[in-house]
Structure 1
Amino acid sequence: MRLRHLLLAVGLAAVWGFNFVVMEVGLRHFPPLLYAGLRFTLAAFPALLFVGRPGVAWKWIVGVAAAVGVGQFGLLLVGMRAGMPPGLSSLVLQTQALFVVVFAAVLLGERPGVRRITGLAVAFAGLALVAYDFGSGGPVGAFVLCVGAAAAWGLGTVIQRKAAPPDSLRFMVWVSALSAPPLLLLSLAVEGVPHLTFAWEGVWSLVYVAFVSTLGGFGVWGWLLRRYDASTVAPYTLLIPVFGLSSAALVTGESISWLKLVAGVLIVSGALYAGTRPRAARGRREESLVPAVTAGRP
């Protein structure tokens, strides 16, 4: 990968990592489900008027919208509102690789090899450390919601793998369009009619998550994937929790304990080991966890 493209991939991971801090800011001004619904509304319109037809069957868009738009982001934002710190949320979401293996085995009949099982066992050990560290002083329900968001992302990844959309940005715009209505209806049913006061902080938060993180991020992601294969580009997304934890520490003062650092190393290295192929196997066709092009990026 050329240096400027490498820097672009790292910059994209930084944008998606910092997104967790931005979402934390947005939750100060909006109820979580309403915030998610507004994010996807802005990401879909007016972009929907210019991207053209999705290029895949509608059932795949509905499936990803339900799993990722409503499931992942709904659970994630409710969990963050309930007390899950933004940096730790960025780390726990990486355990979606565990759920990809489970759903791929159940729904697609894939059989994970020894390398994948080993890597996922390491990542699960990291998740157990996070549970131990956070559970000793933080709200357990918020942690469970974040793990549920990772599971929903894993399911969405498997559905999207089956759909194989030709254009990730166009696909994300349509997923956003189908995610917004149920999120807004859920917000009205669960959170009631909102009593909002105008604040530039909340407005800029929505602008960032809708246009910079979602549309801009997936635009860059698709641009890189048109120039390099997924196995070259996707490992850079494992930098997301690095930027998520560091930006949360700098902006919100979230503490980073040694136990959390060890857990992060286990989760990221385990997911990377499980998702990459050994050199001898790279000539054979094999699905990979890490290079999956997924709509569930933050």
Structure 2
Amino acid sequence: MPSPSRTDAGGALPPAAVALMLLLCGVWGLNLVAMKVTSAGIPPVLQAGLRSVVAAGLVPLLCRPLGLTFGEWRQPRLLLPGIAAGLLFAVEFIALYVGIGLTTASRGVVFLYGAPFWVALGTHWLVPGDRLTRAKALGLCVAFGGLVLAFAEGLRAPGGPDMLAGDLLCLIGGALWAATTVLVKASPLREASPAFVLQVQLVVSAPPLLLASALLGEPWAIDPQPLVLATFLYQAAGIAGASYLTWFWLVSRHSASRLAAFSVLTPIFGVAAGALLLGEPLGGGFLASVALVALGLWLVNRPAG
């Protein structure tokens, strides 16, 4: 993997970056199915904490053949924002997992994937060259409209008495996800290697996640079924390891707001994966929602002019 550019490129994403983001969204969409399967044997917040622990051990093994190093640990100007990013990373997953337990899955997904709007606003004010243009704003709205259409049936389903609290926690989770991305782009972390940016978040996030699991009363018991262990390993190595490393490499080189906009494809891929692997039904407006998301992403990625 080549060394990242140190410039804040706010222009349209090149085809290679678009292809990588499509691949990442597909991988992350499949992760939504993996999380469901893993939760049958490992409680969700404990699952997130253990994922950080295992991934923190695997990332150096992945980075060694790529020539990526972690020397930034000795630089306080990078370590301090790295610790902040790790804490944001931990609280994001705590809010998300608790929130999903209080609201419906469809509402949780929609509130979580408002994150690209927060990224666009944050980079507009804090990252030179990554401005929120009219075309980008329109594209975000159109893509988000496609996401809402994909989950329209679930949004109409009745929720429990704590649904609004769950909605708020999922919204906070999305905002913290965005804050982590903006922090990486707007702080000295933009000068660090993607390997360091990821590794510091994994190491810092593990203790708060494990503590939160205990405080939430989750049973610290793992059902060692082969499928549970396989989907957990997919999350640790494939998601928290390889995919997040690729994500931070992309963020170091390209417009964070344009990259984040593609994340609305993740739940779309997740719905498709659920239909293919778990036999879950596709909503009647699924194809229309895909078309809207595609149109929105095209608008977001149009060159400024």
CA distance in 2, matches of 1:3, 1:268: 15
CA distance in 2, matches of 1:145, 1:259: 27
CA distance in 1, matches of 2:274, 2:105: 8
The match for 2:79 among 33, 58, 64 is 58
The change in CA–CA distance for 1:265 and 1:166 in structure 2 (over 3 A counts) is: farther
The match for 2:280 among 245, 249, 254 is 254
The match for 1:99 among 118, 126, 137 is 118
The match for 1:162 among 175, 186, 189 is 186
The match for 2:153 among 125, 133, 141 is 133
Q: Counterparts in 2 of 1:221-260, with a 5 A limit?
A: 230=254, 234=259, 239-259=265-285
CA distance in 1, matches of 2:25, 2:303: 25
> Which residue number corresponds to residue 200 of structure 1?
226
Corresponding position: 1:148 with 2:148: no
Q: Which secondary structure does the structure 1 equivalent of 2:280 belong to?
A: coil
Residue 157 of structure 1 deviates from its aligned partner by 1.4
> Which residue number corresponds to residue 112 of structure 1?
132
CA distance in 1, matches of 2:181, 2:14: 28
Give the residue type in structure 2 aligned to 1:186.
Answer: A
Question: Do 2:264 and 2:293's aligned partners in 1 also have CA atoms closer than 8 Å?
Answer: no
Residue 262 of structure 1 deviates from its aligned partner by 4.0
Q: Counterparts in 2 of 1:2-151, with a 5 A limit?
A: 10-45=22-57, 47=59, 51-54=69-72, 57-67=78-88, 69-82=89-102, 84-85=104-105, 93-104=112-123, 112-126=132-146, 129=149, 133-137=153-157, 139=159, 140-141=163-164, 142-151=166-175
The change in CA–CA distance for 1:62 and 1:224 in structure 2 (over 3 A counts) is: closer
Question: Do 1:119 and 1:269's aligned partners in 2 also have CA atoms closer than 8 Å?
Answer: yes
Residue 176 of structure 1 deviates from its aligned partner by 0.6
How high is the TM-score relative to the length of structure 1?
0.72
CA distance in 1, matches of 2:151, 2:250: 35
Question: Do 1:90 and 1:245's aligned partners in 2 also have CA atoms closer than 8 Å?
Answer: no
Residue 257 of structure 1 deviates from its aligned partner by 1.3
Give the residue type in structure 1 aligned to 2:117.
Answer: L
Q: Cα deviation per residue 1:55-105 (whole Å; 9 max; x = unaligned)?
A: 6612321222222x223322333344556548x866764431111233445
Q: Counterparts in 2 of 1:287-298, with a 5 A limit?
A: none
Give the residue type in structure 1 aligned to 2:230.
Answer: W
> Which residue number corresponds to residue 215 of structure 1?
241
Q: Quick one: percent identity of the two aligned structures?
A: 25
The change in CA–CA distance for 1:54 and 1:252 in structure 2 (over 3 A counts) is: farther
Q: Which secondary structure does the structure 1 equivalent of 2:71 belong to?
A: coil
Residue 5 of structure 1 deviates from its aligned partner by 9.5
Give the residue type in structure 2 aligned to 1:113.
Answer: T
> Which residue number corresponds to residue 288 of structure 1?
none
Give the residue type in structure 1 aligned to 2:83.
Answer: V
Aligned residues: 275
Question: Do 2:42 and 2:223's aligned partners in 1 also have CA atoms closer than 8 Å?
Answer: no
Give the residue type in structure 1 aligned to 2:176.
Answer: A
Give structure 1 stretches of 5+ with no counterpart: 281-298
How high is the TM-score relative to the length of structure 2?
0.71
Q: Which secondary structure does the structure 2 equivalent of 1:57 belong to?
A: helix
CA distance in 2, matches of 1:223, 1:160: 11
Q: Which secondary structure does the structure 2 equivalent of 1:197 belong to?
A: coil
Residue 184 of structure 1 deviates from its aligned partner by 0.6
The change in CA–CA distance for 1:262 and 1:10 in structure 2 (over 3 A counts) is: closer
Give structure 2 stretches of 5+ with no counterpart: 1-12
